[in-house]
Chain A
Amino acid sequence: MKKNFNSAYLPDERVDGLEKVTGKAKYTAEHQLPNMAYAVFVCSTIAKGKIKHIDTSKALSAPGAIDVMHYENCPKVPGYQPAAFPDLKNVGEWRGLKVFGDPLVRFYGQPVALALAESIESANEVAKLVEIEYEAEAFETDFDTLRKDPSKLKGSNNYVRGKIQAYKEAPFFVEAEYNVPIEVHNPMEMHATIAFWETADTVLLHDKTQGPKATQSAVARLFGLPEKNVRIIAENVGGAFGSALRSWANVPAAVIAAKKIQRPVKLVLTRPQMFNLVGYRPQAWQKVGVGADANGNLLGITHHAISNTSRYEDFREGIVDASKFLYKCDHVDTEYKILPLDLSTPTWMRGPGEATGCFALECSLDDLAFKLKMDPIQFRIKNFTEIQQESKLPWSAINLKDCYAKGAELIGWKNRKQLPKTLKEGDWYVGYGMGVGVFGAGRGTSTVRAILHADGRVVLESAVSDMGSGTATAMVKVAANALGIPEEKIKFVMGDSDLPPGPMQGGSTTTSTLGSGVHLACESLKDLLKDMAIQMVDSFKSMAKDKIGIEGLKLFSLDNNNISVTARELIDKKKVSFIDIVKTSPGLNTREIQKATNSFSVHFVKVHVHSKTNEIQLKHVVTTGDAGKIISEATARSQMLGGAVGGIGMALTEEVKVDHSTGKISNATLGSYIVPRHTMIPHIDVWFTNKPDPYINAIGAKGLGEIAIIGFAAAVSNAIFNATGKRVRDLPITKEKLAKVKA
């Protein structure tokens, strides 16, 4: 398609942009297979207990009804009871809820039956007509009360460096408790699975997943099939933010049902089901104490946390981790426990535990800086260190000071007053705040196939999926850079488990891991061309490899520019239409390089708070990232914008409310669980240090999806404190809560 705008920004456009703006990009639920049945979950209306009786007679007599699957008629699945299938080789116990595996109800809204019908309209009706009698039991969902009972808590995980609770002996210290409620990923595309048994033992899935290979493995092990018998397609993923890091109940439900009725099955969750069937950020209580001397040197940090999990799975995350290593401090202790509740299992949500933990840590440091009468940025610079405090290894790269300086300049930090309520515009108090984020920057294993066609096109393949961060766009840039050819000549193919194994898209590792794979495959392709020249071209024979140069797709002798050959000539000479190479790039061993590897961010917020109504208005946001070299400026910038928007939601609006009399989530819609919308978003500036990390990988790039949100909620809270002198430690910060707090 032609564009009718001048294309000054063309190089920054997403490679999949055209498909997305024209509505042609297909997402999981948008595939149609012949003779496909529609499936809808019927979910429990009690929080705990047992199904006493299921009556499907009315449901099955409804027009269009095909079947209703539930625990009584669900086919036996090897992964639900591996011991009963000793002959199958590749069986693994299904992780998580074994949907329809037994009559037990473990949380309100658990799928207890699957309505199958000829159309979505009929399936919805069939689902409504399933009649279920339960034997209800007492349940526990009230985190705030139950977390105070030590006998309910599980799995204490403690860390001590130096003295315990040393902060209390410091001349200046603060201690406070914090609460982060349950938050839900809520990607705009709802989770969906289409399952189709192509033969008795080969199955094809269209599935919303952040890792086609992981889903392939999970489904293969569920049925005891060789992995090659399972194919997962996820060509476009409409957001996920962590919700598609594992396979949830919709995957086995669709695959089992397709087997049972011998037809392809399409199962799409409803928006209310998105609130508890695909994970959520767990609720977390935290207590943080920090102490310093009069000069602002940190003398102690203590960070305790409790977060909820389900009754049937343990989930824990890195809530207290940043406190262990980010700031220079000799005395640090942390304690982390989990509280099982009669709710579904939580999972990683963008910035995961670190976002929860840095909210408490960065608010605490702001309080202490205030007590010390120090500027919060100066206080952090005072405690800046280039040595990761837990491992005592130097960081591979850390440019936090650049972030402090540039962010302060862009937000207008010089206008900030140390004392709250001293800066006013009309009836509004004005405040400035900042918060720091940190997340691990890893590099995993990835395999990439590079194909060079005779006409000069390069195709790269890897079995990853992209939830919107722009993986293909970035990988094309990595390849263009390595090969020295224009981006238009390169295509990155993904979203299919049949491709060479690629990593899960999560934990801010895709660019580093996959970028290393692409870089290696492209370098190997150049190497292959050199080998071909030496073998097939007389003038290159007996030439040493390091005497051969390559520019674009032209090879030449470094000693004699007149000796050259093109890739096309080599491919033609070989009488093939393309050459290809498959390469596996290894993961990073931080012990080997003796470096700690992290990405960092500093967020700055300017806020207005109304002096009479306590209404909160964000006026300006500056978000800065230190994540190595930026591969794709436009998509990296968009990720930071998205993290800031997510952080605004975390700080000001997002909260799941559980009705503890029923165990039901009472606000499971996008009309009642408030996510940020257009009018909540102020002007946001994004800035990167853009300095290559020399140790992390060959391309110098680190991930930034997580640091985009980590520390953000604290920046908002700190700005509100600077404006009003009021601190709300219970997210989200609302005007009602502000009204109740004394300055």
Chain B
Amino acid sequence: MASVGIVTSLIAEAMPLEAFVPVPIPKQKVSLEINGKKLDLMVDIRSTLQDLLREELGLTGTKKGCAMGDCGSCMIHINGNRANACLSLVVYNDGNKITTIEGLSNGDQLHPVQAAFLKHDSFQCGYCTSGQIMSAVTCLREGAAKNREEIKKYMQRNICRCGSYQNIVDAIEEVKKSGVKV
């Protein structure tokens, strides 16, 4: 029962407690490449990538805004595709290449999207920013930044409660127009 975190939690809520027998935490070996670094880890099989990154690996740039895939604050890249870190169990990611906001800039050189976010004041509190930037990068890479409306549609999965949406689209549009490789 206790073998799949998110799924279990849903089942557990629906089941009477008597039916739920706790068992010792099984751990599993997982190999991941995170921001270019290979890691062999023994992980709690209930761990999501979100909690592994934030609580175990100190990569707190990936945020927790809802833990149920609604807000986009935890957006990361798994094998180059954007994904909600909160919806992905670590054990399902054996052998995967993961990029977080910490792995986006190249040494001291900001990624063009990061620089554009700075220039356009595309954030206020900064909490959704990592997720917005990670989505913005795949938006550009996947050719989804054709115009402002297309950018908005692609970015729909990322909430910014401070309301910096217009400045976020300004930043993405500028990077797109500059033609710089992302």
Q: Give the B-binding residues of A (Cβ under 8 A).
A: 1-5, 7, 9, 12-14, 16-27, 29-30, 32, 58, 61-64, 119-122, 124-125, 128-129, 131, 185-190, 236-241, 268, 270-271, 467-470, 634-635, 637-639, 641-646, 669-671, 675-679, 681, 683-684
The one of A22, A58, A671 that contacts B102, using a Cβ cutoff of 8 Å: A22
Task: Contact check, A239 vs B105: say whether CB atoms are below 8 A apart.
Answer: no
A124 to B22, CA, bound (A): 12
The residues in B between 29 and 80 inclusive whose CB is less than 8 angstroms from any CB of A are 44, 46-47, 51, 54-55, 58-71, 73
Given A13-B118, A20-B126, A681-B166, also A119-B20 (CB < 8 A): no
Task: Contact check, B156 vs A21: say whether CB atoms are below 8 A apart.
Answer: no
Task: Contact check, B125 vs A237: say whether CB atoms are below 8 A apart.
Answer: yes
Task: Contact check, B60 vs A26: say whether CB atoms are below 8 A apart.
Answer: yes
Q: With an 8 A cutoff between CB atoms, is B155 at the interface?
A: yes
The residues in B between 1 and 40 inclusive whose CB is less than 8 angstroms from any CB of A are 2, 5, 9, 12-13, 17, 20, 22-25
Nearest A residue to B133 via CB reads A21
The one of B22, B60, B114 that contacts A30, using a Cβ cutoff of 8 Å: B60
Task: Contact check, A271 vs B126: say whether CB atoms are below 8 A apart.
Answer: no
The one of A13, A122, A635 that contacts B25, using a Cβ cutoff of 8 Å: A122
User: Chain A residues with Cβ under 8 A from B159's Cβ?
Assistant: 188, 670, 675, 677
Task: Contact check, B110 vs A4: say whether CB atoms are below 8 A apart.
Answer: yes
Given A23-B130, A131-B17, also A238-B71 (CB < 8 A): no
A7 to B115, CA, bound (A): 9
Task: Contact check, A62 vs B22: say whether CB atoms are below 8 A apart.
Answer: yes
8 interchain residue pairs of minimum CB distance: A23-B61, A645-B163, A468-B125, A238-B127, A20-B126, A642-B163, A23-B101, A468-B124
Q: With an 8 A cutoff between CB atoms, is B108 at the interface?
A: yes
Instruction: Give A273 Cβ to nearest chain B Cβ, in Å.
Output: 11
The one of B13, B66, B126 that contacts A669, using a Cβ cutoff of 8 Å: B66
Task: Contact check, B9 vs A17: say whether CB atoms are below 8 A apart.
Answer: no
Task: Contact check, B102 vs A23: say whether CB atoms are below 8 A apart.
Answer: yes
A-B contact pairs, 5 of them (CB 8 A): A62-B22, A124-B9, A468-B124, A677-B159, A678-B151
User: Chain B residues with Cβ under 8 A from A18's Cβ?
Assistant: 110, 118
User: Chain B residues with Cβ under 8 A from A22's Cβ?
Assistant: 61, 101-102, 104-105, 110, 114
User: Chain A residues with Cβ under 8 A from B97's Cβ?
Assistant: none
User: Chain A residues with Cβ under 8 A from B47's Cβ?
Assistant: 121
The one of B13, B44, B124 that contacts A239, using a Cβ cutoff of 8 Å: B124
Task: Contact check, B152 vs A238: say whether CB atoms are below 8 A apart.
Answer: no
Instruction: Give A650 Cβ to nearest chain B Cβ, in Å.
Output: 12
User: Chain B residues with Cβ under 8 A from A21's Cβ?
Assistant: 110, 114-115, 117-118, 123, 126, 129, 133
Chain B interface, number of residues (Cβ within 8 angstroms): 78
Task: Contact check, A467 vs B125: say whether CB atoms are below 8 A apart.
Answer: yes
Instruction: Give A128 Cβ to nearest chain B Cβ, in Å.
Output: 5
Nearest B residue to A6 via CB reads B119
User: Chain B residues with Cβ under 8 A from A121's Cβ?
Assistant: 5, 25, 44, 46-47, 51
Q: With an 8 A cutoff between CB atoms, is B100 at the interface?
A: yes
Given A21-B110, A22-B61, A677-B159, also A469-B102 (CB < 8 A): no
Task: Contact check, B17 vs A3: say whether CB atoms are below 8 A apart.
Answer: no
A191 to B104, CA, bound (A): 28
Instruction: Give A23 Cβ to nearest chain B Cβ, in Å.
Output: 2
A69 to B163, CA, bound (A): 38
Q: With an 8 A cutoff between CB atoms, is B145 at the interface?
A: no
Instruction: Give B89 Cβ to nearest chain A Cβ, in Å.
Output: 11
The one of A1, A19, A643 that contacts B163, using a Cβ cutoff of 8 Å: A643
User: Chain B residues with Cβ under 8 A from A238's Cβ?
Assistant: 63, 125-127
The one of B121, B149, B165 that contacts A637, using a Cβ cutoff of 8 Å: B121
User: Chain A residues with Cβ under 8 A from B61's Cβ?
Assistant: 22-24
Task: Contact check, B163 vs A14: say whether CB atoms are below 8 A apart.
Answer: no
Given A189-B127, A670-B70, also A63-B25 (CB < 8 A): yes
The one of A32, A236, A467, A644 that contacts B58, using a Cβ cutoff of 8 Å: A32
A594 to B168, CA, bound (A): 44
Nearest A residue to B157 via CB reads A677
The residues in B between 86 and 106 inclusive whose CB is less than 8 angstroms from any CB of A are 100-102, 104-105
Task: Contact check, B115 vs A3: say whether CB atoms are below 8 A apart.
Answer: yes
A171 to B109, CA, bound (A): 69
Nearest A residue to B24 via CB reads A63
Nearest A residue to B178 via CB reads A5
A128 to B20, CA, bound (A): 10
Q: With an 8 A cutoff between CB atoms, is B83 at the interface?
A: no
Nearest B residue to A32 via CB reads B58
Task: Contact check, A638 vs B161: say whether CB atoms are below 8 A apart.
Answer: no
The one of A19, A27, A270 that contacts B127, using a Cβ cutoff of 8 Å: A27
Nearest B residue to A14 via CB reads B121
Task: Contact check, B51 vs A20: say whether CB atoms are below 8 A apart.
Answer: no
Task: Contact check, A29 vs B64: say whether CB atoms are below 8 A apart.
Answer: yes
Greatest chain B CB density within 10 A among A120, A124, A271, A639 is at: A120
Instruction: Give B146 Cβ to nearest chain A Cβ, in Å.
Output: 15
Given A188-B73, A468-B126, A638-B162, also A128-B9 (CB < 8 A): yes
User: Chain B residues with Cβ under 8 A from A2's Cβ?
Assistant: 108-110
**Given contact pairs A1-B105, A13-B119, a sample of 10 additional A-B residue pairs in the complex whose CB atoms are under 8 Å apart:** A3-B118, A4-B109, A14-B118, A18-B110, A21-B110, A21-B129, A26-B60, A129-B20, A468-B162, A645-B165
Task: Contact check, A678 vs B124: say whether CB atoms are below 8 A apart.
Answer: no
Task: Contact check, B55 vs A125: say whether CB atoms are below 8 A apart.
Answer: no
A241 to B127, CA, bound (A): 14
Given A63-B22, A238-B126, A684-B166, also A128-B109 (CB < 8 A): no
User: Chain B residues with Cβ under 8 A from A236's Cβ?
Assistant: 125-126
The one of A9, A120, A188, A637 that contacts B55, using a Cβ cutoff of 8 Å: A120
Q: With an 8 A cutoff between CB atoms, is B167 at the interface?
A: yes
Q: With an 8 A cutoff between CB atoms, is B128 at the interface?
A: yes
Contact with A along B155-182 (1 / 0, CB 8 A): 1101111111111110000000010100
Instruction: Give A632 Cβ to nearest chain B Cβ, in Å.
Output: 10
Instruction: Give B114 Cβ to nearest chain A Cβ, in Å.
Output: 4
Given A23-B61, A677-B156, also A187-B115 (CB < 8 A): no
Nearest A residue to B2 via CB reads A125
Task: Contact check, A678 vs B152: say whether CB atoms are below 8 A apart.
Answer: yes
User: Chain A residues with Cβ under 8 A from B58's Cβ?
Assistant: 32
Task: Contact check, B65 vs A271: say whether CB atoms are below 8 A apart.
Answer: yes
Task: Contact check, A119 vs B156: say whether CB atoms are below 8 A apart.
Answer: no
Given A129-B22, A271-B65, also A4-B44 (CB < 8 A): no
Task: Contact check, B22 vs A61: say whether CB atoms are below 8 A apart.
Answer: yes
A170 to B7, CA, bound (A): 64
A239 to B70, CA, bound (A): 17
User: Chain B residues with Cβ under 8 A from A187's Cβ?
Assistant: 125, 127, 161
Task: Contact check, B70 vs A669: say whether CB atoms are below 8 A apart.
Answer: yes
A416 to B84, CA, bound (A): 44
User: Chain B residues with Cβ under 8 A from A646's Cβ?
Assistant: 163
User: Chain A residues with Cβ under 8 A from B116's Cβ?
Assistant: 5
Instruction: Give A122 Cβ to nearest chain B Cβ, in Å.
Output: 7
Given A634-B121, A681-B152, also A670-B66 (CB < 8 A): yes
Given A120-B51, A128-B12, A671-B70, also A5-B119 (CB < 8 A): yes
Greatest chain B CB density within 10 A among A62, A637, A642 is at: A642
Task: Contact check, A635 vs B121: say whether CB atoms are below 8 A apart.
Answer: yes
Nearest B residue to A681 via CB reads B165
Task: Contact check, A638 vs B121: say whether CB atoms are below 8 A apart.
Answer: yes
Task: Contact check, A188 vs B128: say whether CB atoms are below 8 A apart.
Answer: yes
Nearest A residue to B149 via CB reads A679
User: Chain A residues with Cβ under 8 A from B73's Cβ?
Assistant: 188
Task: Contact check, A241 vs B25: say whether CB atoms are below 8 A apart.
Answer: no
A675 to B71, CA, bound (A): 10
A84 to B80, CA, bound (A): 61
